[in-house]
Amino acid sequence: MAKSKEESDEEKRKAKIASLRKGPDLDKYVKGPRKRYTTYELGASQYSLNYYTFRKLVRMAGANIKIRKNVLIDLDILEEYLEKNCKDGGEKNV
């Protein structure tokens, strides 16, 4: 038998609530050829820093973006901050 309109509306409402509880799909921002956003864990390994050191650096740069319980790091803002505040410019005399 065909479902009544009320039953189908109720199922759609439940599906929407379930998707909202799950949170946004952040993989489309974090993965890809040009990573503009990353997470604390991936960024710390990318910059070869301790997790807490990287987190402190990101907060000083103001590059963290909170989305509900998740945090994304804007790498463009972080790179700009590092360029302005880096003392030796990343070059070492060998």
Q: Would you state the pLDDT for residue 94?
A: 41
For the full predicted model, state whether its pTM sits above 0.85: no
Tokens of 42: 């991936």
Domain ranges, ordered by start, for the chain: 24-94
Q: pLDDT tens digits, residue range 41-66?
A: 999 999 999 999 999 999 999 999 88
> Which carries the bigger pLDDT value, residue 82 or residue 69?
82
Which CATH topology does 24-94 take? Arc Repressor Mutant, subunit A (1.10.10)
Q: Given the DSSP bridges, would you call strands 70-74 and 64-67 parallel, antiparallel or unpaired?
A: antiparallel
- The arithmetic mean of pLDDT across residues 72-90, rounded, is 83
Residue 47 CA to residue 86 CA, distance in Å, equals 14
Q: pLDDT tens digits, residue range 8-33?
A: 878 877 787 776 566 666 666 666 66
- Report which secondary-structure segment, H or E, holds 38: strand 37-38
Query: 51-61 and 75-85 are packed helices; what angle lies between their axes, rounded to 10 degrees?
Result: 90
